[in-house]
Structure 1
Amino acid sequence: MKKLCLSIFLTLFLGFHLSSIDLLAQSCTQLSLPEHAIARLCIPRNKYPADLDFSPDGKTLASLIYCCPREIILWDVENKIEKLTIIVPNDSYHSIRFSPDGKTFVCGNTLYDTTTGQPKLILSDSEGYENHVVYSPDGKTLAGAGVKGIRFWNSTADPTTDTSPPIGILPTDTSAIDTSKDGFVATPIATSSVTVPRIRGLSYSPDGQELAIACSLGVWIYNAELNTEITLFTQDHGGHRGGVLSVAYSPDGNTIASGDSAGKIHLWDAKSRKHKLTLSKPKIFGQYLSQIPSLKFSPDSNAIVSGSDRSNGDQMYLWDATTGEYKYTLRGHTGNVTSVIFSPDGNTIASTSSDKTILLWDFTAYPIVSISPDSVTPSTIGEELTFDLKITNSKDISGYQATIEFDPEAFEYIETTYGDYLSEGVPVQPILNQHLGTVKLASLSLSGIGSNGDGTLATIKFKVNAIRTSKLSLRDVILSDNEGNESYAWIDGAQILKTATTEDSDCSVTNTKDVNKDCVVNIQDLVLVATHFGRGGGNVADVNSDGRVDIIDLVLVAGAFGDTATAPAVYADTQAMITTDDVQQWLRAAHKVNLPDSMYQRGMLTLEQLLTVLIPKNTALLPNYPNPFNPETWIPYQLVEPAEVTVLIYSANGPLIRTLALGHQPAGIYRNRDRAAYWDGTNEAGEPVASGVYFYTLLAGDFRATRRMLVIK
Structure 2
Amino acid sequence: DKEDGTKPPKDGNTKPPADKEDAAKPPKDGNTKPPADKEDGTKPPKDGDTKPPADKEDAAKPPKDGDTTKPPADKEDASKPPKDEESSSQIIFSNTEAVNLNSSFDLHLSLSGDFRIAGWQTDITYNPEVLRLLSVAGGEILADAFFQEGTIDNEAGRLEGLSSALLGQGTISTPGVLLSLTFESLKEGESVIQLENTIFSDDMSEEQKISLPDKLIRVVSSIPCDVNADGITNIFDLILVAQKFGQKNVSGRADTNNDGEINIFDLIIVAQCFGQSAAPTTLKEPISMFSMVNNWVQLAEQESDGSAEFKKGTTVLRGILESLKPKKTALMANYPNPFNPETWIPYHLSQDSEVIINIYDTTGKIIRSLDMGFQSFGYYASRDNSAYWDGRTENGEQVSSGTYFYQINAGDYTETRKMVILK
Question: If the length of structure 1 is used for normalisation, what is the TM-score?
Answer: 0.23
Higher helix share: 2
Query: 1 or 2 for the larger relative contact order (CA 8 Å, sep ≥6)?
Result: 2
